[in-house]
Amino acid sequence: MTARSVTNRLGGLAFGGDYNPEQWDEPVWKEDDELMRRARVNLATLGVFSWALLEPEEGRYDFTWLDAHIERLHANGVAVDLATPTASPPPWFTLAHPEALAVRADGTRLVHGSRDTYCLASPAYRSAARRIASGLAERYGDHPALALWHVHNEYGTLCWCDHAAAAFRVWLRARHGSLDALNEAWGTAFWSQRYTSWEQVLPPRATQYHKNPAQTVDFHRFWGDEIIAAYCEQRDAIRQHSDRPVTTNLMLPYDLRLNVWAFARELDIVSSDQYPDANGLDGAAHVAFYADRSRSLAGGRPWLLMEQGTSTVYDGDQVIGKEPGDVLRHSLGHIARGSEGALFFQWRQSRAGAETWHSAMLPHAGPDSRIFREVTQTGEAVAALAELAGSTVTAQVAVLDDPDAMWALEADGLPSPRLDYHAPLAGAHRALWDAGVTADFAHPEHDLSRYRLVIAPSLFLLSDKGAQNLRRYVEGGGTLLVQHAAGYVDERVHARLGGYPAAPLREALGIRVDEYRPLRKEQRITLSDGSHGTVWSESLHTEGAETVASYTHGMLTDSPALTRHRIGTGQGWYLSTHLDDADYGALVGRLLKEAGVEPELAGLPAGVEAVTRHAADGRRWHVLINHTEDTVPLPDPGHDLLTGTTAHELPPGACAVLRGH
Ligand code: GAL
C-alpha cells in the first residue's frame, strides 16, 4: 500500500482538505458539492473531530450522518480520507474517565473544553480509541469512496500523570534492564538521586532546579515510542477490516515530541501539515524545509501534504496572512518536492468555534472572494499535473537530523542556553535552498554514501554508531561539514571524555576540542577570513587538519575556528562557531563547489526555485517558482503543463511545470 494506490483511485494528484460538514446544514452541503466541483476537489478528510457525533454516549455508535456525507461526496466524485476522531474525546468521555485527562509537568490536571485533552498512556483512552477506529473500519473499510485512513490528528500531546509514570517505568525497565543500569545511565551518583526501587522513578515533573538531563531525554524517548504504539494499535485495528493505506498527519514544525524516523516507518504514506512562520522568501523556504523533511521521512518515496492554510494561520502569539499567489506557489512548492497533492485545513471557514478566524479554502465571504478564486486556480493547476503522480525527487546533499540530539538540547543544564537544535538545522537547509540545491534530511546512522555533501548542524548528542558512520562516510569519499558543539555527549547524555567530539569523528575531522567557550548574548566575534560568529566558540587543536580560518579575539587568538581534513578519499570540515547567515552561505557555497554539487537547473537567478521530479521510466518534470519581482527568461524553454503552451519566461510570482527532455 503506497501513495500510488491513492493517486490511482483519484486519477491524479490529490486536491482538497479537511471537511467538517457537521458545522453546517443541508443547503450549505448542496453548495459545497457545487463549489468542490468548481475547485476540482477530489479528496476530502472527514471526521477528524467528530467523536461526539459518532459515539454520542459510551459504546453507542451512530454512523448514519457519516453514511450520508460519504455517499454524497462519492456521488460528487470526491474520494474520502476517513479520520479516526481520537484527537478530541467528547465531554462524556472525560467525565466518565477523569483519570484519563492530561496532567502537566507542574501537576495541573487539564479539563475538557479544547481538544487533545487526554493522556495517551491511559488504558481507558486507548481502548476507547481502538474501539472507535475498529467500528469505523468495519463499517467503511471497503467503501468505494474510501481512499485513505487518517488516524488521529497531529500526535504529540504529552502527559506527566500517574498513567504516564507507570508506562514510563515499564519502558525504562525494558531499555535499561535493571535499576543499577538506570542509576548508571542517569548519573544518579550526582545530587543524591540514587533510586532504590522502581516506584521512586518519576516523569520529569516540576522540580526546584535543573532536572536530570538523561531523565528528560529518556522521557521524550518513552513518549516517542508510546505515541507510535498508540498509532499502531489503531492502524492494526483498521487493517483487520480494510486494505486501504493508513497514515497520520505529522506536525513537523512541532515534532519536538515525535520520534519521526521510527514513526514514519509505520505509515503506509507519510503525510504532514505545514504552516509557514513568515511571508515572502522566508515563507517559501519554510515550505521547502518541511517538504524536504517529509520526503526524507518517506525514504524518498511520494508523500502527501495533508494540511496547509490559504491565508491567516496562527504562529505562536502572532497571526500571519499569506500573500496573493501563495496558495498556488506553496502548493507547487510541496508538489515539487514529492507531495502527491495539496490539501488544506479546512474546506469551509468555521462560523463559530475556536478556529473561526483561521483561513480556509472557502472563506466567510463565500466564493466571490480572492481566496476562493486562488483555490480554484490552484485546483486547476493540480489537475493539470496528473502525470507527475508517483514520480520522485533525488538529492545529492543531506542535512543530519536526529530526535535524540534535539531532545538532548531540550534538557536542563546545557553548556549554554543559546545552543539550539532547530535554528542551525533550518539554517543549513536555507543556505542550500538559497543556492538552488535540493537537500534530503538523514539520520546520522543512515547509509550516507549516495550524498556528495553532508551537513551536521546540530549533533550535540551523537551515538557511537553515528560517529563511526560519519567517519566511514568521509573516508569513503564524502564531504562532511560538522558544526559547533557536536558529539559532546553520547546516547546516554554522558559527556565525551578526552576531548570532543566523539573519538571516531575526531579522527575524521582531524581535530580535538579541549575547551568550550560559549559567547555572551551580545558578543559577535570576527574570524581571520573576515567572517563573523555568535553563540559559541571553542579551543580546538588540529590533529591532521589544516586551519582555514582562525579566531582573532581573547585567549583563542590565532587558534583554529574552521578546519578542513583530508582523509581517505573525502574531507571533513569543522566549524566551531555559529556564522552569520551571509558568511555561512558563502561557506556552504564553497563546500558545494568542492563536492561538485550543481544547482538543479543551471542559469536561473537567485529567488527562482527549481526542483525536478523523476519518473521510473525516465520522464521528468521541472517545477519552477519565481519568488522574485522580475520576469525571468527561462534558459531552457519547455512545454508548461500549467498553461499547455511553451514557456519562455516566468513573470514575477509565477510558476511553471515543464516537461523535461
Ligand atoms: C493544524 C490542525 C488543524 C487546525 C490547523 C489550523 O495543526 O491539524 O486541525 O487546527 O492546525 O492551523
Q: Which residue has the least CA distance to atom 11 on ligand 1? A: 345
Distance (Å, whole) CA 493 – CA 510 = 24
Q: Which residue has the least CA distance to atom 5 on ligand 1? A: 345
Is there an atom of ligand 1 within 6 Å of 153 CB? yes
Any residues with CB less than 8 A from the CB of 543 and at least 6 apart, and which? Answer: 506, 510, 511, 512
Judge whether residue 2 has pLDDT over 80. Answer: no
Using the atom order of ligand 1, give the atom closest to the CA of residue 314.
Answer: 12
Judge whether residue 281 has pLDDT over 70. Answer: yes
Instruction: Give one word for 268, left, alpha or beta, with left for phi > 0 and alpha for psi -120 to 50.
Output: alpha
Q: How confident is the model at residue 5 (pLDDT cuts 50, 70, 90)?
A: confident
Is there an atom of ligand 1 within 6 Å of 49 CB? no
Q: Which long-range contacts (CB under 8 A, 24 or more apart) does 545-550 make?
A: 545/509, 545/510, 545/511, 545/572, 545/574, 548/573
Judge whether residue 643 has pLDDT over 80. Answer: yes
The share of the chain scoring above pLDDT 90, in percent, equals 96
Q: How do residues 420-471 score in pLDDT, each as one tens digit?
A: 999 999 999 999 999 999 999 999 999 999 999 999 999 999 999 999 999 9
Return the bridge partners of 320, or none: 313
Is there an atom of ligand 1 within 6 Å of 313 CB? yes
Q: Which residue has the least CA distance to atom 12 on ligand 1? A: 313
Distance 307 CA to ligand 1 centre (A): 8
Judge whether residue 315 has pLDDT over 90. Answer: no
Contact status, residue 280 vs residue 323, Cβ threshold 8 Å = yes
Binding residues for Zn(2+): 119, 159, 161
Contact status, residue 580 vs residue 534, Cβ threshold 8 Å = yes
Binding residues for substrate: 115, 153
The H-assigned helical ranges of 103-206 are 123-140, 162-176, 179-186
Judge whether residue 154 has pLDDT over 70. Answer: yes
Per-residue pLDDT, averaged over 649-656, amounts to 98
Distance 314 CA to ligand 1 centre (A): 9
Q: What does the block give as the cell for 49?
A: 473531530
Binding residues: 115, 119, 153, 159, 161
Per-residue pLDDT, averaged over 379-395, amounts to 98
Judge whether residue 370 has pLDDT over 70. Answer: yes
- Name the CATH topology of 608-659: Immunoglobulin-like (2.60.40)
Any residues with CB less than 8 A from the CB of 457 and at least 6 apart, and which? Answer: 399, 400, 424, 425, 427, 428, 483
Using the atom order of ligand 1, give the atom closest to the CA of residue 154.
Answer: 8
**Would you state the pLDDT for residue 256?**
78
Which CATH architecture group holds 397-595? 3-Layer(aba) Sandwich (3.40)
Is there an atom of ligand 1 within 6 Å of 87 CB? no
State the DSSP string of 19-76.
E-GGGS-HHHHHHHHHHHHHTT--EEEE-TT-HHHH-SBTTB---HHHHHHHHHHHHT
Q: How do residues 43-86 score in pLDDT, each as one tens digit?
A: 999 999 999 999 999 999 999 999 999 999 999 999 999 999 99
Distance (Å, whole) CA 459 – CA 421 = 8
Residue linked to cell 505545514: 274
Return the bridge partners of 657, or none: 623
Distance 226 CA to ligand 1 centre (A): 22
Return the bridge partners of 580, or none: none
Name the CATH superfamily for 42-269: Glycosidases (3.20.20.80)
Q: How do residues 625-636 score in pLDDT, each as one tens digit?
A: 999 999 999 999
Distance 154 CA to ligand 1 centre (A): 8
Q: What does the block give as the cell for 122?
A: 491511559
Judge whether residue 296 has pLDDT over 70. Answer: yes
Q: What does the block give as the cell for 23?
A: 458545522
**Would you state the pLDDT for residue 254?**
67
Q: How confident is the model at residue 4 (pLDDT cuts 50, 70, 90)?
A: confident
pTM of the predicted structure, to 2 decimals: 0.97
Per-residue pLDDT, averaged over 364-384, amounts to 98
Is there an atom of ligand 1 within 6 Å of 247 CB? no
Best mutation site among 157, 247, 345, 349 for ligand 1 pocket (most ligand atoms within 8 Å of CB) = 345
State the DSSP string of 450-510.
T-SEEEES--SB--HHHHHHHHHHHHTT-EEEEESSTT-B-TTSPBPSSSBS-HHHHHHHT
Active-site amino acid positions: 154, 307
Q: Which long-range contacts (CB under 8 A, 24 or more apart) does 492-497 make?
A: 492/185, 492/214, 493/213, 493/214, 493/217, 493/408, 493/411, 493/461, 494/187, 494/214
Is there an atom of ligand 1 within 6 Å of 355 CB? yes
Cβ atoms < 10 Å from Cβ of 83: 24
Distance 21 CA to ligand 1 centre (A): 16
Sequence spans of domains, the chain: 42-269, 397-595, 608-659
Residues in the chain: 661
Is there an atom of ligand 1 within 6 Å of 307 CB? yes
Per-residue pLDDT, averaged over 161-184, amounts to 98
Distance 158 CA to ligand 1 centre (A): 17
Distance 603 CA to ligand 1 centre (A): 39
Q: What does the block give as the cell for 152?
A: 488521529
Is there an atom of ligand 1 within 6 Å of 250 CB? no
Distance (Å, whole) CA 609 – CA 280 = 13
Q: Which residue has the least CA distance to atom 3 on ligand 1? A: 345
Q: What is the rounded average pLDDT for all residues in the chain?
A: 97
Distance (Å, whole) CA 654 – CA 483 = 36
Q: Where are the beta strands (DSSP E) in 302-394?
A: 303-307, 313-315, 318-320, 339-344
Judge whether residue 554 has pLDDT over 70. Answer: yes
